[in-house]
Structure 1
Amino acid sequence: MGNVLDTVRLPKMSEIVADRLRQQIIAGELVEGDPLPPEDQLMEHAGVARTTVREALRILESEGLLVVRRGAGGGARIRTPQVANVARYIGLVLQSQGTRLEDVHSARVMLEAPAAGLLATMPDRARIVAALRDALEAEAAAMDDPVALSHAHGRFHQLIVRLAGSETFEVLTAVANRIIQVQADRVMGARDTDGLTKAGAEAAHRAHARYVDMVEAGASQDAEDLWRKHLEAGEAILMSDPSSKTVLDLLE
């Protein structure tokens, strides 16, 4: 039996510096768009070499917490943690596991349909309905642009999750939403916009409008049932594309 101390890995100094800066970003001590202090100042403050500081910055850049511009007038600026970064990383995990797109759609239904019903029970329903109707107007304005309409539909779905009021829930659903939006863009770009795609987009818009009416009426179960059927119908259309069956096919 080996010595348990053999398994202990001490962090590199660059990781320690990166962790200190990461905590400052998360705590709001360093805010979005702020320039990071110059390398010399970071070196002096942490008591480390320039190579250590640069390695720490590379770590944070890879995590999406810094934007580094090279050359004259460049430098590092702070980025606060983004949901898209989380979705991108988990998307890589799903790719590596060969996850099928049916699995992603099923997860979306399990998460999003109950949220759709929940909105009809919330005390500030008037505010929720107003936000949903604004999103419907954005869809209507994009009706002649298939790609813009697809993104407007995606934003409507994301809005339902956001209005449910849980930031954790919003992060968890962001992965499925991102993957499905990529799939929708591919399908919308591959088909005749005067045929099935346009008809499907118009049907989706009508379903969204009926859903908002149900929320306004406080019909929670009807709203959830409609939204589940709507999600399943959308899956059937998107999965009819034979070129993508796994997350890897879609995101590679």
Structure 2
Amino acid sequence: MKLPSFRLDGKKAIITGAGRGIGRALAIGFSLAGAEVILCSRTESELNQVKSDIEDLGGTASVYQMDVTNTTELKATVERIFSDHHQVDILINNAGMNIRSKANDVTEEEWIKIMDTNVKSAFMMSQAVGAKMQEQVNGGSILSVSSVAGHVALKTGVVYAASKAAMIQMTKVLAYEWGSHGVRVNSIGPWYFETPLTKHLLEDEEYLNEILAVTPLKRVGQVEELVGPALFLSSDAGSYVTGQTLFVDGGMTINGF
């Protein structure tokens, strides 16, 4: 018996929101696992820094600046990526954002901005890249970064929660439709991790204690701890897994929420 491989040698992986936080960690982790990473986000300077970090570690990366909420720009960039690289084996939908408003205070502009960034972009990227993957001999793997907020009620804001729940259901339907074409579709659902977007929240001792009180492991996550779950679902080690959301949450969702 040969053990399944978590290696990504010879694979090409697109990662959106790759300039910082979770996206940066996944880009570096996937590169260390052997993948050629294709870095996408709006901020080219951040992408260039990640590219430099990857190359310093002996990896290969390329940069594509784009706004994932602009569908025309997104589709054109995907076409350019496939023209340049000919094949993409993995797509990581990581681009996301939040505006923490209570339900009574949510504006239409906030709803559109969060939904466009979190859900529409993930679907449009999946559709554009997935269509190409379905034509490839070896299919491909799509992984979206959702959240425990898509599964349980939290103080993260109703629109953010709705967007992440939509991603979880989208994952199931795409997996169902594309499985026969060799395309696997999964998602991961993080709890609190230390990122530039959560830094100010985690510096609030009262808020941090509320988080730790419902987390069996009694700590927040480090972004590097998302690399293993993402590798499992994206690599041959997870070759018979599709339509699933893996919660990477320190045990938070087992508490009966």
Question: After TM superposition, is the score higher than 0.5?
Answer: no
Q: Shorter-chain TM-score category?
A: under 0.3
Structure number having the greater helix percentage: 1
Q: TM-score, normalised by structure 1?
A: 0.24
Q: TM-score, normalised by structure 2?
A: 0.24
Structure number having the greater strand percentage: 2
RCO higher in structure (CA 8 A, sep ≥6): 1
